[in-house]
Copies of this chain bind each other. A is one copy, B any other.
Amino acid sequence: MACQEYFVRQLHAHGLRLTPQRELVLNVMHQLEAPATAEEIYARVHALSASVDISTVYRTLELFQEFNLVAAFDPGDGIRRYEHLGVEAPHHHLVCRACGKVTQVALEELQPLIAHLTAASGFVADAVALTIPGLCAVCATASETPL
B147 touches A122 (CB 8 A): no
Tell me whether chain A's interface is mostly helix, strand or loop, or mixed.
mixed
Give the shortest distance, in Å, between A30 (CB) and chain B (any CB). 21
- Tell me the number of copies of this protein: 2
**With A and B bound together, what is the CA distance between A80 and B76 in angstroms?**
7
In A80-137, the 8 Å CB interface with B consists of 80, 94, 96-97, 103, 105, 107, 109-110, 113-114, 117, 121-126, 129-137
Q: Which of A20-28, A48-56, A66-74 contacts B (4 or more CB under 8 A)?
A: A66-74
- Residues of chain A touching chain B, judged by Cβ–Cβ distance below 8 Å, are 13, 65, 71-76, 78, 80, 94, 96-97, 103, 105, 107, 109-110, 113-114, 117, 121-126, 129-137, 140-141, 147
